[in-house]
Amino acid sequence: MLLRQNFLYRYWRYRYQLRFPHRTRLPATQLKIVYNERIIFMFKILIIVSLLLTLITFFFPKYKRLYWVNFLPWLVVVFVIIHLIFWKYQWQMIPVYALTSIIFIISLTKFKKTISNEPESHKGKFFKYISIILGLLLLIVASAVLYLFPIVNLPKPTGPYVVGTTLMSFNDTKRPEILTDDPKDTREFMARIWYPADFVKGNSMFYKENVQQVGIIEPAGPPNFIFSHYNLIKTNSYLDTPISNQQLTYPVLVFSPGFLASYEDYQILIEELASHGYIVFAPNQPYESQSVIYPDSKIIPFSEEHFKKYKENQENLTPLWKEFWTTTDQEKRIEISKKILDSESFMDTVLRVRTADIQFMVDEMEKMNSGNINNIFSNKLDLSRLGILGHSMGGAVAGQVCSVDSRFKACVNLDGFQWGDVVKNVIKQPFMIMQSENFAGVNDFILNQFKNKFYLVTIKDSKHMNFDDNQIIMPSTKLIGMTGKIDAKEMLQITNNLITSFFDKYISDKNITFPNENAINYPEVEIKDFNLSKI
């Protein structure tokens, strides 16, 4: 009741109703997420400011200090304890914990001297000023860590639907698992499905709820503790909530993540699509992606042997890639791209395993839709409106799937070098390639394979990793050069706008202009429209 009477509640309710006028009331859980995120942020600012004030007071002689100032370190300790109680331990707060402890210990000794009226020696003054300077440096480090590794909730999707999500396991008993040594293994994988829902009570999912249990791929990047706060980030998806009844059926999309990545790394984009009325199936590939956890708590870890083969393959291709990037001649680049394609076997294997996964999953969707498999999507999947998209290796998989499976009506490849058979096949579906500036040109060798609407989108000042969630939830990616100069929120608006409107046009058959003015007006966006359907 106190929350509902609060001015902030009334303000966010007003904002929410302006944005979603057809929803009768503001979900209290959504309000609490927004409300708590700001409280956490302000509380961290309060701790940092309190530490700064405490350090500043140390510069003044004790006879010039107000008596109550001596209790500032105690106040900081209280603030830190409150933070630990309400928001748990966070590794980003380690410098704050350390500085608070040091200041508290020093203040205890100074407090004793203040009571005893002991004079301060020259040695003591020197030690004091060195300690204050070091303390200020540590405070700068603490502030930088909190800024670079924040706990931020995912941005709200812009569509009219609440987003539901559920997990499903798929087991193709007729297909052997080629990534294990056991000849009896059959191909099994998990998928998370996001879908349009109506409002229900409950709490939205955390970003990576099992991050502590399964971790992140350490051979591919930083140690696991860097990502341990991901299970504190709130998404906008509600687990197992009923699917919306506003429409009889909904168009279906399949999302394929990058190699070494997971569907969990692209939740902002997927939530956006689901909020606009798409049911999005996103499979996780065991052994080549982050550890996969099944409903029965079985964990399939990332295969380091698989990663080793990947690294060996990358090393073998390095000379060709160097040759590609050092030439500006397009014909020569196309020739090099084809050499890369012909000399590659590892990525080709990965691509074909994923393609078979997706085709099997669509077969299962048909059974789910008919009611042969008990599920919440019975008679809700409009498989006549089926599209696919993916990033990096997942983008290549999307292109490959469209080239071999006519059930898919449109495709988006996000910055993926097009492995597979696209170079030999004719793509009849509407197709969009979105490429970062540093990957521009890698797919020029397939530009003649499209016989329908085809768009080539280049986003200036972007990099390969600008297409996943880390640009938003991990600002440090820009600092270390993983993402480009483009503003992360602007990049998000560009990709969400183009991808959603592309599928609205070619999957949902909406009478809209693509690309729309909002996308064209971004100075970073260059769109080439190959109007092949009129040739």
Same domain? 137 vs 191: no
Q: What is the mean pLDDT of residues 35-59?
A: 81
Q: What is the mean pLDDT of residues 316-335?
A: 91
Q: What is the mean pLDDT of the chain?
A: 84
Q: Is the pLDDT assigned to residue 435 strictly greater than 80?
A: yes
Distance CA 393, CA 347 (A): 8
Same domain? 257 vs 405: yes
Within-domain flag for 459: yes
Q: What is the mean pLDDT of residues 421-447?
A: 94
Residue with more model confidence, 101 or 22: 101
What would the pLDDT profile of 249-281 be if each residue is shown by its tens digit? 999 999 999 988 889 999 999 999 999 999 999
Residues making up the chain, counted from first to last: 535
Q: Are 32 and 40 in contact (CB under 8 A)?
A: no
**According to the model, what pLDDT value does residue 221 have?**
56
Residue with more model confidence, 36 or 141: 141
Distance CA 466, CA 525 (A): 14
CATH number at residue 530: 3.40.50.1820
Distance CA 243, CA 353 (A): 30
Q: Is the pLDDT assigned to residue 84 strictly greater than 60?
A: yes
Q: Is the pLDDT assigned to residue 118 strictly greater than 90?
A: no
Residue with more model confidence, 14 or 481: 481
**pLDDT band at 110, cuts 50/70/90?**
low
Q: Is the pLDDT assigned to residue 10 strictly greater than 70?
A: no
**Of 114, 148, 182, the domain-final residue:** 148
With residues binned 3-state (H G I as helix, E B as strand, rest as coil), the percentages for the chain, rounded to 5, are 50, 15, 30
Same domain? 279 vs 399: yes
SS3 of residue 165 by DSSP: strand
Q: Are 200 and 238 in contact (CB under 8 A)?
A: yes
Within-domain flag for 361: yes
Q: What residue type is assigned to position 192 of the chain?
A: R
What would the pLDDT profile of 440-478 be if each residue is shown by its tens digit? 999 999 999 998 899 999 999 999 999 999 999 988 888
Percent of the chain clearing pLDDT 90 (strictly above): 47
Q: What is the mean pLDDT of residues 100-127?
A: 67
Q: Is the pLDDT assigned to residue 492 strictly greater than 70?
A: yes
Q: Are 64 and 104 in contact (CB under 8 A)?
A: no
Same domain? 251 vs 400: yes
For tokens 């909406």, the residue is: 510
Q: Is the pLDDT assigned to residue 113 strictly greater than 70?
A: no
Question: Read out DSSP for 373-395?
Answer: S-STTTTTEEEEEEEEEEETHHH
Please give the structure tokens belonging to residue 377: 């999507």
Residue with more model confidence, 443 or 57: 443
Same domain? 366 vs 278: yes
Please give the structure tokens belonging to residue 237: 């998806």
Within-domain flag for 66: yes
Distance CA 481, CA 372 (A): 49
Q: What is the mean pLDDT of residues 323-327?
A: 91
Contacts of 468 (CB under 8 A, 6+ apart): 258, 261, 265, 266, 391
Q: Is the pLDDT assigned to residue 314 strictly greater than 90?
A: no
Within-domain flag for 222: yes
Q: Is the pLDDT assigned to residue 31 strictly greater than 90?
A: no
Distance CA 524, CA 505 (A): 23
Q: What is the mean pLDDT of residues 204-226?
A: 62
Q: What is the mean pLDDT of residues 515-521?
A: 80
**According to the model, what pLDDT value does residue 28 have?**
44
For tokens 């003649």, the residue is: 448
Distance CA 67, CA 64 (A): 9
**According to the model, what pLDDT value does residue 361 have?**
97
122-148 helix and 28-57 helix, angle to the nearest 10 degrees: 160
What would the pLDDT profile of 406-422 be if each residue is shown by its tens digit? 999 999 999 999 999 99
**pLDDT band at 122, cuts 50/70/90?**
low
Counted domains in the chain = 2
Same domain? 263 vs 349: yes
Q: Is the pLDDT assigned to residue 14 strictly greater than 50?
A: no
Q: Which stretch of 59-68, 103-112, 228-237 has the lowest confidence by average pLDDT?
A: 59-68
**pLDDT band at 248, cuts 50/70/90?**
very high
Same domain? 261 vs 134: no
- CA neighbours within 13 Å on the CB side: how many for 496? 23
Residue with more model confidence, 387 or 117: 387
Within-domain flag for 119: yes
Q: What is the mean pLDDT of residues 178-202?
A: 87
Please give the structure tokens belonging to residue 64: 């010039």
**Of 123, 148, 173, the domain-final residue:** 148
Same domain? 214 vs 189: yes
**pLDDT band at 215, cuts 50/70/90?**
very low
Same domain? 404 vs 439: yes
Percent of the chain clearing pLDDT 70 (strictly above): 82
**pLDDT band at 5, cuts 50/70/90?**
very low
**According to the model, what pLDDT value does residue 112 have?**
53
**According to the model, what pLDDT value does residue 414 have?**
98
What would the pLDDT profile of 149-162 be if each residue is shown by its tens digit? 888 888 999 999 99
What residue numbers bound the domain in which 524 lies?
A: 162-534
**pLDDT band at 519, cuts 50/70/90?**
confident
Please give the structure tokens belonging to residue 476: 């440090």
Same domain? 194 vs 338: yes
What would the pLDDT profile of 494-516 be if each residue is shown by its tens digit? 999 999 999 999 999 999 999 88
Tell which phi-psi region holds residue 270, choosing left (phi > 0), alpha (psi between -120 and 50) or beta: alpha
Q: Is the pLDDT assigned to residue 364 strictly greater than 90?
A: yes
Q: Are 296 and 506 in contact (CB under 8 A)?
A: no
Same domain? 139 vs 176: no
Q: Are 288 and 260 in contact (CB under 8 A)?
A: yes
Same domain? 70 vs 206: no
Q: What is the mean pLDDT of residues 104-114?
A: 68
Q: Is the peptide bond before 150 cis (omega within 30 degrees of 0)?
A: no
**According to the model, what pLDDT value does residue 29 have?**
42
What is the pTM for the complete model shown?
Answer: 0.83
Q: Is the pLDDT assigned to residue 393 strictly greater than 80?
A: yes
Q: Which stretch of 57-61, 171-175, 381-385, 458-462 has the lowest confidence by average pLDDT?
A: 57-61
Residue with more model confidence, 474 or 127: 474
Within-domain flag for 154: no
Within-domain flag for 319: yes
**Of 148, 173, 206, the domain-final residue:** 148
Within-domain flag for 262: yes
Q: Which helix (H) or strand (E) holds 196?
A: strand 186-197
